[in-house]
């Protein structure tokens, strides 16, 4: 079990724990503009790790891979602000991948997920981002999945924002699948927090959408960080939802998945 940290205790790192289409990219951008909450990105999404490794010029092994300890050090360097605080995003599936890889670096801590993260990243806290309107989240996820446009704006993310997929098309069965997947992943996050005695800071998308500055300031308070004088918190990402999202939500309510 972990010992919950006092809010005022110095923090070395934090993870935004989320599911897709909860405003996580928006929140990461807001946190970066504080200048004290790291430069949070999705550094540990497995398909993107080779791209980050190339950006950071990590030496490749004979089989074309890279040493994960080297990768973690490079991620920490890239994701820290001058005060030494590191931030990153983890989706539910990504957490397991990171923990599995860290076990190869710190085999003495196998099975101790939080201790592994603390060993690699220092004293770590967790922000849990979720969305109350799971139907709206599933509709947003379906559109992003189809169009491959996952965010608009940003600041140096690795990922495709060009919308090079196919045109959006209503699919009630896929929406239903995504609703179930979101519920499963939310349950998994909550069970993981409970199993390791974690006192996470909960943020809801609806709160973030209504008060971006207040929510961001609340996270700084949770991390024990002060916004520098004269610093302004500003969004770096643009809203993607439009009338089509609302039409699909209404249609799903009358034509639910089989």
pLDDT in tens, 30-46: 999 999 999 999 999 99
User: Is 1 a domain residue?
Assistant: no
Q: How many CA atoms lie within 13 A of 139 on its CB side?
A: 20
Query: CA 190, CA 195: separation in Å to the nearest integer?
Result: 9
User: 70 pLDDT exceeds 90?
Assistant: yes
Longest dimension (CA), the chain: 56
Which residues, at least 6 apart from 83, have a Cβ–Cβ distance to it below 8 Å? Answer: 36, 225
Two structure tokens written together for 192: 């993981």
- Nearest Cα neighbor of 22 from 180, 206, 201 is 206
87 or 2, which is more confident: 87
Does a structural domain hold residue 2? no
Enter the tokens of residue 75: 């991620």
Instruction: Establish if 3 belongs to a structural domain.
Output: no
Q: What CATH number has the domain bearing residue 150?
A: 3.40.50.300
Q: Is residue 22 part of a domain?
A: yes
Edge-first strand listing for the sheet containing 13-18: 86-91, 13-18, 124-130, 201-204
Cα–Cα separations (whole angstroms), residue 150 to 146, 171, 240: 10, 18, 9
Helices (H) and strands (E) in the chain, counts: 10, 4
Residue 73 lies in a domain: yes
pLDDT at 232: 85
Mean pLDDT of the chain: 89
Within-domain flag for 194 = yes
CA angle 139–201–215, rounded 5-degree value: 70
Coil/strand/helix, residue 156: coil
Task: Report pTM.
Answer: 0.89
Residue among 15, 18, 21 nearest 150 (CA): 21
**Location of structure tokens 């972990």:** 2
Listed range (114-123, 136-145, 169-178, 229-238) with the worst mean pLDDT: 229-238
The answer to whether residue 170 is domain-embedded is yes
Report how many domains make up the chain. 1
- The parent domain of residue 30 ranges over 13-254
pLDDT given at position 243: 84
Segment 209-255, tens digit of pLDDT: 999 999 999 999 999 999 998 888 987 656 665 789 999 999 999 98
Q: Domain for residue 217, yes or no?
A: yes
Q: Please check the confidence at residue 161 and state whether its pLDDT lies above 80.
A: no
Alpha-carbon distances, residue 23 vs 34, 45, 53, 114, 222 (angstroms): 17, 17, 26, 25, 19
86-91 and 201-204 as β-strands: parallel, antiparallel, unpaired? unpaired
């Amino acid at each position: 079990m972990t010992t919950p940290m006092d809010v005022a205790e110095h923090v070395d790192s934090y993870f935004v724990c989320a599911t897709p289409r909860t405003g996580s990219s928006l929140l990461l951008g807001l946190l970066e503009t504080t200048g004290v909450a790291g430069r949070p990105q999705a550094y540990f999404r497995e398909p993107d790790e080779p791209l980050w490794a190339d950006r950071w010029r990590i030496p490749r092994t004979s089989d074309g891979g890279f040493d994960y300890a080297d990768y973690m050090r490079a991620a920490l360097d890239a994701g820290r602000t001058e005060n030494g605080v590191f931030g990153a995003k983890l989706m539910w599936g990504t957490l397991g991948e990171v923990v599995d890889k860290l076990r190869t670096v710190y085999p003495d801590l196998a099975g101790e997920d939080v201790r592994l993260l603390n060993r690699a990243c220092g004293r770590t806290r967790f922000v849990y981002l979720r969305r109350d309107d799971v139907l709206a989240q599933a509709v947003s996820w379906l559109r992003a999945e189809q169009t491959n446009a996952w965010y608009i704006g940003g600041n140096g993310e690795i990922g495709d924002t060009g919308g090079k997929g196919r045109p959006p098309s209503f699919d009630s069965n896929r929406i239903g699948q995504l609703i179930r997947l979101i519920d499963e992943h939310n349950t998994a996050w909550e069970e993981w927090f409970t199993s390791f005695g974690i006192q996470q800071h909960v943020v809801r998308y609806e709160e973030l959408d209504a008060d971006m500055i207040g929510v961001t300031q609340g996270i700084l308070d949770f991390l024990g960080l002060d916004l520098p004088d004269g610093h302004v918190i500003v969004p770096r990402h643009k809203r993607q939802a439009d009338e089509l999202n609302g039409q699909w939500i209404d249609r799903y309510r009358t034509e639910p998945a089989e």
